[in-house]
Structure formats: C-alpha cells, structure tokens
Amino acid sequence: MAKLFLSLSSVFGFLSVALGAFGAHALKQRFNDYQMGIFQTGIHYQFFHTLALVGVGALLLKWPDSLGLKYSGLAFVFGVLVFSGSLYLLAFTQIKWLGAITPIGGVSFLIGWILLGITVNKIL
C-alpha cells in the first residue's frame, strides 16, 4: 500500500502543479473571480493532501501492516478525488449542486487526519 500511496502522491502532485499553471495562464481570462477562487481552493487542498499522502506512504514503509495508516491514506485519496474534483467540476461547469458534494471530500480529509493522529500516537 505504501507504493500505491507514494505513486498516487506523485500523480496528485504533478496534477496540482499542472492545474495550477493551467489556471494561472489559460483560465485567467476565461474564469471570473468566483470560478478562479473555487479552482484555486481545489488545487490548494489537493496539494496539501498530496504531501500528507507522501507522509502516510513513508510511514507505511516502516509499519506496512498498520490499518490506521492505510485507512488514513485512503481517506486522503478519496478526499482529493471528491473535494478537489468537485471543485474543479464546479469551476468549469458552474453546476451549483456539485458544491453539495464537496463537504463529503472535506469530511474524508478530516477522517484521514484523525486516523493519522491516532495511529501515529500508537506506533511512535
């Protein structure tokens, strides 16, 4: 699972940088301030949780059987896909109900951080 999380973190990290550059250059003229703010929020949260996923992957190299670390990493992956993904879709489509999905990803991020905290306190 460490390899999966570290591999996904490289993909998520690449996409954070690529989408950030795309937003700064190509979307600047196309998006209004509201859309750009939504898009940037998705990028920021994706990047922060990419780094969290790197940390979880690194910890799993030492404690490969830790369910807490595995579930924490899965929560971060799900959070990136749902939280950031729904914000990207909302920015592009302006379909308002997509904003109702975003908190599901946010809760997943919170669960990931709680699981990481609890697990680290148990194993260290």
**Interatomic CA distance for residues 118 and 84, integer angstroms:** 25
Q: For 92-108, what is each residue's pLDDT tens digit?
A: 999 999 999 999 999 99
Q: For 44-93, what is each residue's pLDDT tens digit?
A: 999 999 999 999 999 999 999 999 999 999 999 999 999 999 999 999 99
DSSP string, 41-82: HHHHHHHHHHHHHHHHHHHHHH-TT-HHHHHHHHHHHHHIII
pTM for the complete prediction? 0.96
Q: Is the dihedral of CA 104, 109, 110, 111 positive or negative?
A: positive
**Interatomic CA distance for residues 124 and 122, integer angstroms:** 6
DSSP string, 72-86: HHHHHHHHIIIIIHH
| Dihedral class, residue 66 (left if φ above 0, else alpha if ψ from -120 to 50, else beta) | beta
